[in-house]
Amino acid sequence: MIKQLIKITTFVIVISLPLLGFSQTNDYTVRKCFGYQKDSCKISRNIFYKVHNESRSALFLKGQTSQTPITIYNGRDYRISLCWDHVLGNQIQFRLLDRETNDLLYDNATDEFSSDFEFTVTQTREIIIEISIPGSSSLVEAMGNDELIIVRKDTDMGCLGVLIEHMITPTKGF
């Protein structure tokens, strides 16, 4: 009887342990933001677009601005899409800047805060994707201070993904 109880208990534990990995969590150190762009951003319906290996995601605070560099190549079309947790708001700003000259190449604030942008590249360049989250967080405001700051994860921070897709530019005309 005891051996049978031990076998049943062991069986239940062995079956239950893998299921714990699928449970929801607010722990942002686990998978919450890792690969967020793969799970949450809408992939283009154009079958010729391929996901670029410089796509990424990160944990953002309200009021935070962050930059990431990428290289864009002549003869390719690109599509950049953003996706984010609703807690970050509904108007995330992103800008494309020339890394060498710091010239503004695109600003979605002039495009009704569109969450995606498609473009053709005529010259290989290093660019910077700059993301700005609206609002404010006590952590962003007090980054330079040594005071204790407590930040609510459910109201002041969330995941943001940048999905970059690319394809060879189609020939123009007949």
Which three-class secondary structure state does DSSP give residue 130? strand
Residue 70 lies in a domain: yes
- Alpha-carbon span 159 to 65, nearest angstrom: 14
Residue 13 lies in a domain: no
Residue 23 lies in a domain: no
Domain around 139: 28-168
Q: What is the pLDDT of residue 156?
A: 84
Residue 15 lies in a domain: no
Q: What is the pLDDT of residue 5?
A: 54
Q: What is the pLDDT of residue 30?
A: 47
- Domain with residue 102: its CATH number is 2.60.120.380
Q: What is the pLDDT of residue 29?
A: 46
Q: What is the pLDDT of residue 18?
A: 41
**Which residues of the chain are modeled with pLDDT < 50?**
9-26, 28-30
Give the residue among 170, 160, 171, 165 at the shortest CA–CA distance from 36: 160
Q: What is the mean pLDDT of the chain?
A: 83
- Alpha-carbon span 120 to 93, nearest angstrom: 21
Q: For the chain, how many structural domains are there in total?
A: 1
Q: What is the pLDDT of residue 28?
A: 46
pTM exceeds cut of 0.85: no
Residue 111 lies in a domain: yes
Q: What angle do CA 130, 135, 136 make, to 5 degrees?
A: 100
Residue 16 lies in a domain: no
